[in-house]
Structure 1
Protein backbone atom coordinates (compact mmCIF):
# COMPACT_ATOMS: atom_id res chain seq x y z
CA UNK A 1 0.00 0.00 0.00
CA UNK A 2 1.51 3.31 -1.04
CA UNK A 3 1.39 6.57 0.91
CA UNK A 4 -1.65 7.95 -0.94
CA UNK A 5 -3.60 4.71 -0.41
CA UNK A 6 -2.75 4.77 3.31
CA UNK A 7 -3.96 8.37 3.58
CA UNK A 8 -7.19 7.54 1.74
CA UNK A 9 -7.78 4.55 4.04
CA UNK A 10 -7.12 6.66 7.12
CA UNK A 11 -9.51 9.35 5.90
CA UNK A 12 -12.24 6.77 5.18
CA UNK A 13 -11.90 5.19 8.64
CA UNK A 14 -11.76 8.55 10.41
CA UNK A 15 -14.97 9.51 8.56
CA UNK A 16 -16.52 6.22 9.73
CA UNK A 17 -15.62 7.04 13.36
CA UNK A 18 -17.02 10.57 13.04
CA UNK A 19 -20.23 9.21 11.49
CA UNK A 20 -20.56 6.66 14.28
CA UNK A 21 -20.24 9.23 17.05
CA UNK A 22 -22.61 11.57 15.17
CA UNK A 23 -25.14 8.72 15.18
CA UNK A 24 -24.67 8.39 18.96
CA UNK A 25 -24.92 12.14 19.61
CA UNK A 26 -27.78 13.07 17.30
CA UNK A 27 -29.82 9.86 16.83
CA UNK A 28 -29.49 8.39 20.34
CA UNK A 29 -27.34 5.58 18.87
CA UNK A 30 -30.49 3.89 17.52
CA UNK A 31 -28.50 2.58 14.54
CA UNK A 32 -25.10 2.39 16.25
CA UNK A 33 -25.18 -1.42 16.41
CA UNK A 34 -25.17 -1.51 12.58
CA UNK A 35 -21.58 -0.20 12.63
CA UNK A 36 -20.40 -3.45 14.28
CA UNK A 37 -19.85 -7.03 13.20
CA UNK A 38 -22.28 -9.60 14.64
CA UNK A 39 -19.70 -10.74 17.21
CA UNK A 40 -18.09 -7.37 17.95
CA UNK A 41 -16.86 -6.40 21.40
CA UNK A 42 -17.52 -2.84 22.61
CA UNK A 43 -15.82 -1.94 25.89
CA UNK A 44 -16.65 1.35 27.58
CA UNK A 45 -15.09 2.77 30.71
CA UNK A 46 -17.47 0.61 32.75
CA UNK A 47 -18.38 -2.59 30.91
CA UNK A 48 -17.84 -4.81 27.85
CA UNK A 49 -20.68 -5.78 25.54
CA UNK A 50 -20.39 -8.57 22.99
CA UNK A 51 -22.50 -8.75 19.85
CA UNK A 52 -24.74 -6.38 17.94
CA UNK A 53 -27.77 -7.18 20.13
CA UNK A 54 -25.94 -6.26 23.34
CA UNK A 55 -24.67 -3.04 21.76
CA UNK A 56 -28.20 -2.17 20.61
CA UNK A 57 -29.48 -2.88 24.14
CA UNK A 58 -26.87 -0.48 25.56
CA UNK A 59 -28.01 2.37 23.32
CA UNK A 60 -31.69 1.59 23.94
CA UNK A 61 -31.06 1.77 27.69
CA UNK A 62 -29.14 5.00 27.23
CA UNK A 63 -32.12 6.55 25.43
CA UNK A 64 -34.60 5.23 28.01
CA UNK A 65 -32.80 7.18 30.75
CA UNK A 66 -34.17 10.41 29.31
CA UNK A 67 -32.82 13.58 27.77
CA UNK A 68 -29.04 13.78 27.41
CA UNK A 69 -26.88 16.09 25.37
CA UNK A 70 -23.53 14.77 24.17
CA UNK A 71 -20.71 15.46 21.76
CA UNK A 72 -18.00 12.87 21.11
CA UNK A 73 -15.04 14.67 19.50
CA UNK A 74 -12.47 12.59 17.57
CA UNK A 75 -8.86 13.83 17.43
CA UNK A 76 -5.37 12.53 16.54
CA UNK A 77 -6.74 9.69 14.41
CA UNK A 78 -4.31 6.93 13.42
CA UNK A 79 -4.89 3.89 11.21
CA UNK A 80 -2.46 0.96 10.97
CA UNK A 81 -3.27 -1.61 8.27
CA UNK A 82 -2.72 -5.14 9.58
CA UNK A 83 -3.94 -6.85 6.40
CA UNK A 84 -6.06 -5.85 3.40
CA UNK A 85 -9.14 -6.79 5.45
CA UNK A 86 -8.15 -5.49 8.89
CA UNK A 87 -7.02 -2.13 10.24
CA UNK A 88 -6.22 -1.17 13.81
CA UNK A 89 -7.17 2.42 14.65
CA UNK A 90 -6.70 4.64 17.64
CA UNK A 91 -7.56 8.21 18.51
CA UNK A 92 -8.31 10.55 21.36
CA UNK A 93 -12.00 11.02 22.05
CA UNK A 94 -13.21 13.95 24.14
CA UNK A 95 -16.69 13.53 25.57
CA UNK A 96 -18.80 16.54 26.42
CA UNK A 97 -22.05 15.32 27.97
CA UNK A 98 -24.69 16.00 30.57
CA UNK A 99 -28.23 14.91 31.28
CA UNK A 100 -30.87 17.27 29.96
CA UNK A 101 -31.78 19.11 26.78
CA UNK A 102 -29.40 21.70 25.36
CA UNK A 103 -28.49 24.47 25.69
CA UNK A 104 -26.60 23.39 28.81
CA UNK A 105 -23.84 25.23 30.70
CA UNK A 106 -20.48 24.95 28.95
CA UNK A 107 -17.87 22.91 30.83
CA UNK A 108 -14.67 21.02 29.98
CA UNK A 109 -14.90 17.49 28.59
CA UNK A 110 -16.21 15.02 31.17
CA UNK A 111 -13.88 12.35 29.78
CA UNK A 112 -10.88 12.21 27.50
CA UNK A 113 -10.27 8.64 26.36
CA UNK A 114 -7.82 6.63 24.32
CA UNK A 115 -9.97 4.73 21.82
CA UNK A 116 -8.66 1.52 20.22
CA UNK A 117 -10.55 -0.12 17.36
CA UNK A 118 -10.22 -3.05 15.00
CA UNK A 119 -12.09 -2.48 11.77
CA UNK A 120 -12.70 -5.30 9.27
CA UNK A 121 -13.58 -5.02 5.60
CA UNK A 122 -16.83 -6.69 4.60
CA UNK A 123 -17.42 -8.56 1.31
CA UNK A 124 -19.18 -5.48 -0.11
CA UNK A 125 -16.10 -3.34 0.65
CA UNK A 126 -17.60 -1.52 3.65
CA UNK A 127 -15.93 -1.48 7.06
CA UNK A 128 -17.40 -2.64 10.39
CA UNK A 129 -16.03 -2.55 13.92
CA UNK A 130 -14.99 -5.89 15.38
CA UNK A 131 -13.56 -4.27 18.50
CA UNK A 132 -13.81 -0.85 20.17
CA UNK A 133 -12.27 -0.11 23.56
CA UNK A 134 -12.49 3.22 25.38
CA UNK A 135 -9.81 3.72 28.03
CA UNK A 136 -10.32 6.88 30.07
CA UNK A 137 -7.23 9.04 30.48
CA UNK A 138 -8.96 11.96 32.21
CA UNK A 139 -12.39 12.10 33.88
CA UNK A 140 -14.40 14.39 36.05
CA UNK A 141 -17.19 13.29 38.37
CA UNK A 142 -20.00 13.61 35.79
CA UNK A 143 -21.54 10.18 35.23
CA UNK A 144 -21.11 8.63 31.80
CA UNK A 145 -23.61 6.18 30.32
CA UNK A 146 -20.89 3.62 29.57
Structure 2
Protein backbone atom coordinates (compact mmCIF):
# COMPACT_ATOMS: atom_id res chain seq x y z
CA UNK A 1 0.00 0.00 0.00
CA UNK A 2 1.29 3.46 -0.87
CA UNK A 3 2.07 5.75 2.02
CA UNK A 4 0.28 9.05 2.62
CA UNK A 5 3.19 11.16 1.35
CA UNK A 6 3.31 9.31 -1.97
CA UNK A 7 -0.46 9.58 -2.37
CA UNK A 8 -0.26 13.31 -1.62
CA UNK A 9 2.55 13.75 -4.16
CA UNK A 10 0.55 11.98 -6.88
CA UNK A 11 -2.56 14.02 -6.10
CA UNK A 12 -0.69 17.34 -6.09
CA UNK A 13 1.34 16.73 -9.23
CA UNK A 14 -1.50 15.23 -11.27
CA UNK A 15 -3.78 18.15 -10.36
CA UNK A 16 -1.02 20.60 -11.24
CA UNK A 17 -0.49 18.86 -14.58
CA UNK A 18 -4.24 19.06 -15.28
CA UNK A 19 -4.09 22.79 -14.46
CA UNK A 20 -1.09 23.21 -16.77
CA UNK A 21 -2.78 21.54 -19.73
CA UNK A 22 -5.95 23.55 -19.07
CA UNK A 23 -3.78 26.69 -19.21
CA UNK A 24 -2.37 25.57 -22.56
CA UNK A 25 -5.70 24.48 -24.07
CA UNK A 26 -7.90 27.34 -22.89
CA UNK A 27 -5.51 30.26 -22.37
CA UNK A 28 -3.02 29.55 -25.15
CA UNK A 29 -0.17 29.09 -22.66
CA UNK A 30 -0.01 32.78 -21.70
CA UNK A 31 1.01 31.76 -18.17
CA UNK A 32 2.88 28.56 -19.08
CA UNK A 33 6.15 29.89 -17.68
CA UNK A 34 4.72 30.01 -14.14
CA UNK A 35 4.88 26.20 -14.01
CA UNK A 36 8.64 25.98 -14.63
CA UNK A 37 11.92 26.85 -12.95
CA UNK A 38 14.09 29.42 -14.72
CA UNK A 39 16.51 26.81 -16.10
CA UNK A 40 13.84 24.26 -17.16
CA UNK A 41 14.24 21.95 -20.15
CA UNK A 42 11.37 21.09 -22.51
CA UNK A 43 12.09 18.32 -25.03
CA UNK A 44 9.58 17.55 -27.76
CA UNK A 45 9.98 14.90 -30.42
CA UNK A 46 11.34 17.40 -32.96
CA UNK A 47 12.55 20.42 -30.95
CA UNK A 48 13.90 21.31 -27.52
CA UNK A 49 13.60 24.54 -25.58
CA UNK A 50 16.02 25.31 -22.78
CA UNK A 51 15.10 27.91 -20.17
CA UNK A 52 11.71 29.21 -19.12
CA UNK A 53 11.94 32.18 -21.51
CA UNK A 54 12.38 29.86 -24.51
CA UNK A 55 9.51 27.64 -23.33
CA UNK A 56 7.27 30.68 -23.03
CA UNK A 57 8.47 31.87 -26.44
CA UNK A 58 7.21 28.58 -27.92
CA UNK A 59 3.71 29.06 -26.51
CA UNK A 60 3.68 32.72 -27.58
CA UNK A 61 4.76 31.69 -31.10
CA UNK A 62 2.05 29.07 -31.30
CA UNK A 63 -0.64 31.50 -30.09
CA UNK A 64 0.55 34.20 -32.53
CA UNK A 65 0.07 31.81 -35.49
CA UNK A 66 -3.70 32.14 -35.17
CA UNK A 67 -6.58 30.05 -33.97
CA UNK A 68 -5.68 26.54 -32.84
CA UNK A 69 -7.81 24.14 -30.88
CA UNK A 70 -6.08 21.63 -28.64
CA UNK A 71 -6.95 19.12 -25.96
CA UNK A 72 -4.13 17.58 -23.94
CA UNK A 73 -5.43 14.56 -22.03
CA UNK A 74 -3.32 12.27 -19.88
CA UNK A 75 -3.66 8.94 -18.14
CA UNK A 76 -1.61 6.45 -16.12
CA UNK A 77 -0.05 9.26 -14.08
CA UNK A 78 2.64 7.99 -11.72
CA UNK A 79 4.90 10.11 -9.49
CA UNK A 80 7.65 9.20 -7.09
CA UNK A 81 9.98 11.11 -4.83
CA UNK A 82 13.59 11.38 -5.97
CA UNK A 83 14.58 13.42 -2.91
CA UNK A 84 12.98 15.36 -0.09
CA UNK A 85 12.01 18.23 -2.42
CA UNK A 86 12.29 16.56 -5.82
CA UNK A 87 10.13 14.16 -7.79
CA UNK A 88 9.73 12.50 -11.16
CA UNK A 89 6.47 11.65 -12.88
CA UNK A 90 5.35 9.93 -16.06
CA UNK A 91 2.08 9.67 -17.95
CA UNK A 92 0.68 8.93 -21.36
CA UNK A 93 -0.27 12.18 -23.12
CA UNK A 94 -2.98 12.21 -25.79
CA UNK A 95 -2.84 15.34 -27.94
CA UNK A 96 -5.79 16.31 -30.10
CA UNK A 97 -5.05 19.51 -32.03
CA UNK A 98 -5.72 21.33 -35.29
CA UNK A 99 -5.54 24.86 -36.56
CA UNK A 100 -8.94 26.56 -36.58
CA UNK A 101 -11.85 27.29 -34.26
CA UNK A 102 -14.23 24.91 -32.58
CA UNK A 103 -15.98 22.78 -33.33
CA UNK A 104 -13.57 20.93 -35.58
CA UNK A 105 -14.04 17.44 -37.02
CA UNK A 106 -13.00 14.70 -34.65
CA UNK A 107 -9.98 12.55 -35.48
CA UNK A 108 -7.45 10.27 -33.86
CA UNK A 109 -4.94 11.93 -31.55
CA UNK A 110 -2.18 13.91 -33.24
CA UNK A 111 0.22 12.09 -30.93
CA UNK A 112 0.21 9.67 -28.05
CA UNK A 113 3.39 10.17 -26.09
CA UNK A 114 5.17 8.93 -23.02
CA UNK A 115 5.72 12.11 -21.01
CA UNK A 116 8.39 12.31 -18.33
CA UNK A 117 8.57 15.27 -15.96
CA UNK A 118 10.95 16.20 -13.15
CA UNK A 119 9.99 18.59 -10.38
CA UNK A 120 11.48 20.51 -7.48
CA UNK A 121 9.55 21.99 -4.59
CA UNK A 122 10.29 25.69 -4.08
CA UNK A 123 8.46 27.85 -1.56
CA UNK A 124 5.89 25.09 -1.09
CA UNK A 125 5.09 24.72 -4.81
CA UNK A 126 6.18 22.04 -7.25
CA UNK A 127 7.85 23.46 -10.38
CA UNK A 128 8.87 21.55 -13.48
CA UNK A 129 12.59 21.34 -14.21
CA UNK A 130 12.42 18.90 -17.13
CA UNK A 131 9.69 17.74 -19.52
CA UNK A 132 10.20 15.20 -22.31
CA UNK A 133 7.76 13.73 -24.82
CA UNK A 134 8.53 10.48 -26.63
CA UNK A 135 5.96 9.83 -29.36
CA UNK A 136 4.56 6.33 -29.37
CA UNK A 137 1.96 7.07 -32.06
CA UNK A 138 1.69 9.90 -34.60
CA UNK A 139 -1.10 10.86 -36.98
CA UNK A 140 -0.86 12.73 -40.26
CA UNK A 141 -1.68 16.06 -38.53
CA UNK A 142 1.52 18.09 -38.14
CA UNK A 143 2.74 19.01 -34.67
CA UNK A 144 3.85 22.57 -33.96
CA UNK A 145 7.54 22.48 -33.03
CA UNK A 146 9.29 25.51 -34.48
CA UNK A 147 13.02 26.12 -34.47
CA UNK A 148 12.89 29.31 -32.41
CA UNK A 149 16.56 30.00 -33.16
CA UNK A 150 16.14 29.78 -36.96
CA UNK A 151 16.12 33.59 -37.30
CA UNK A 152 19.59 33.94 -35.80
Normalised-by-shorter TM-score class? over 0.9
After TM superposition, give the deviation of residue 55 of structure 1 in Å.
0.7
**Normalising by structure 2, what TM-score?**
0.92
Corresponding position of 1:5: 5
- Equivalent in the alignment of 1:45: 45
Tell me by how many angstroms 1:139 deviates.
0.3
For residue 100 of structure 1, report the CA deviation from its aligned partner: 0.2
SS at match of 2:30: coil
Pairing 1:53-64 to 2, within 5 Å after superposition: 53-64=53-64
| Counterpart for residue 132 of structure 2 | 133
Structure 2 unaligned blocks of 5 or more: 146-152
Aligned residues: 144
Work out the CA distance in 2 between the residues paired with 1:62 and 1:7. 35
Which residue number in structure 1 is paired with residue 66 of structure 2?
Answer: 66
TM-score (norm 1): 0.96
Do 2:9 and 2:80's aligned partners in 1 also have CA atoms closer than 8 Å? no
* Distance (Å, rounded) in 1 between the aligned partners of 2:64 and 2:8: 38
1:21 and 1:102 map into 2 onto residues whose CA distance is: 18
Alpha-carbon distance in structure 1 between the residues aligned to 2:6 and 2:13: 11
CA RMSD, 1 decimal: 0.9
Per-residue CA deviations over 1:39-61 (Å, capped at 9, x if unaligned) read 00001121111111101110110
Q: After TM superposition, which residue ranges in structure 1, 4 or more long, deviate above 2 angstroms?
A: none
Question: Which consecutive residues of structure 1, in runs of 5 or more, have no partner in the other structure?
Answer: none
